[in-house]
Amino acid sequence: MDKSFFITLLFLAITPVFISGCNFHTDTGAEKGPQAFPYVSVPTMLTGQEAAEYAASHYWNRYFDSTQVWNGISDTLIGGVTENDMTQAVRDYIMALWSIPYDKALEAQRHLMSLAEESAVTDTSGHIYDFIVTVMESALWNPLSELRNEGFYIPVVESVLSTRRTGEHYSSYYQQQLTTCRNNAPGAYAADFTYTDAKGRMHSLYETRSEYTLLLFSNPGCPACREIIGMLKSSPIINAMEQQGRLALLSIYIDEDVAAWYQGLSDYPEDWITGYNQDLSIRDNLVYDVRAIPSLYLLDRDKKVIFKDISTGMLMLLMETLN
């Protein structure tokens, strides 16, 4: 499938709210009740990749302009918008980030956090700023979030640390988050490691020769791991790329119970590469900061990270762009 066509399909799911826009009061006499979130209006001449990039980079401008006159900051309104509407707006925005190149997504995130920081100067309570940090942490950092993306979360953590809005305890907490996010971040070369296969032979990640490598950290007998394995086995795009020799699937066990790993080998397809990290460096030395099992990484031919700890749903959606 053509990449630009796929980007259009992904973007169409959220474009209707972008192109329709929303009217909102701009005079100082505006009522202080809930207002509709002022979605960005994408110029109709832009489509596909250009439309997605425009939406992401301009997404928050109208909202932060409007908060200056709404004066709707309270426990139930975030800059005049209800919490539910704001949460949905953030989800739509994150989907826009997923549909554009990683460097453009980081630019959009840094722009958002600069707007949020400016709002905290006007609104000394930091209500809007703190809400954005909280909802971004939930969506991008939580290992159970389908939208999680540690790379997109980096500008958020950098902003929190630079603005010094937290006490010493939480500064350490966010500094640890930042260290984790930068570990094997998208665009970086994945850290190499060694592993032992079922026949006792030792290999390394960089010995894997393929256009793409799908790296899965999993445990034998893990229900969530079996679910992901089943989804990967039944995926037409995964199977097609594997059969074409374009994709290698590498499943690695990072704990010490090697006997349990051997007993669970039947969980994995025979054409997958499976092994265990015999020196436990992945887990103990945080060569990969695996915060939850299972965890998926997609690497390119040179072992650069394309996606880090991506959810299965987003992986399936985005694999189409590689085909």
pLDDT tier for residue 170 given thresholds of 50, 70 and 90: confident
Same domain, 209 and 120: no
Is the domain of 38 the same as that of 147?
Answer: yes
| 305 pLDDT more than 90 | yes
Q: Does residue 188 sit within a domain?
A: no
Residues 16 and 155 grouped into a single domain = yes
Tell me how far apart the alpha carbons of residues 23 and 34 are, in angstroms, rounded to a whole number: 13
* CATH code where residue 236 lies: 3.40.30.10
Reported pTM: 0.87
Per-residue pLDDT tens digits for 71-126: 544 556 777 788 889 899 999 999 999 999 999 999 999 999 999 999 888 776 77
Model confidence band, residue 228 (pLDDT cutoffs 50, 70, 90): very high
Note the pLDDT of residue 164: 77
Instruction: Return d(Cα 117, Cα 139) in angstroms, integer.
Output: 20
Domain-embedded: residue 58: yes
Domain check: are 219 and 126 in the same one? Answer: no
Instruction: Report yes or no on 299 lying in a domain.
Output: yes
Which one of 182, 204, 219 terminates a domain?
A: 182
Q: Does residue 251 belong to any structural domain of this protein?
A: yes
pLDDT tens, 236-260?
A: 999 999 999 999 999 999 999 999 9
- Domain extent for 229: 194-322
Rounded Cα gap, residues 134 and 308, in angstroms: 21
pLDDT at 68: 57
Residues 58 and 122 in one domain: yes
Does residue 135 share a domain with residue 209? no
Q: Do 273 and 304 reside in the same domain of the chain?
A: yes
pLDDT at 36: 85
- The structural domain count of the chain equals 2
Which amino acid, 73? Answer: I
For residue 321, the model assigns a pLDDT of 79
Q: Residues 72, 213: one domain?
A: no
CA distances from 258 to 79, 197, 199, 224 (A): 54, 11, 13, 20
Question: Which element (helix H / strand E) includes 262?
Answer: helix 258-263
Would you say 128 and 70 are in contact if contact means Cβ atoms under 8 Å apart? no
Same domain, 315 and 178: no
Which of 162, 182, 202 is the last residue in one of the domains?
A: 182
Q: In angstroms, rounded to a whole number, what is the distance separating the alpha carbons of residues 170 and 166? A: 6
Signed CA dihedral, 200, 205, 210, 213: sign only = positive
Residue 187 lies in a domain: no
198 inside domain:
yes
Residue 18 has pLDDT above 80, yes or no: no
129 and 167 belong to one structural domain? yes
> CA distances (Å), 149 to each of 32, 76, 124, 316, in order?
35, 28, 29, 15
Instruction: Answer yes or no: is 111 within a domain.
Output: yes
- CB 48 within 8 Å of CB 42: no
pLDDT at position 241: 95
**Is 26 found in the same domain as 120?**
yes
* Neighbouring-strand partners of residue 253: 276
Same domain for 224 and 175, yes or no, is no
Domain boundary among 131, 152, 182: 182
Q: What does residue 230 show for φ and ψ, rounded to 5 degrees? A: -65, -40
CA-based angle 55:26:42, to the nearest 5?
15
Q: What is the predicted pLDDT for the residue at 254?
A: 98
Q: Using one digit for the tens of pLDDT, what is the confidence trace for 22-43? A: 333 333 344 456 788 999 999 9
* Residue listed under structure tokens 């109709």: 44
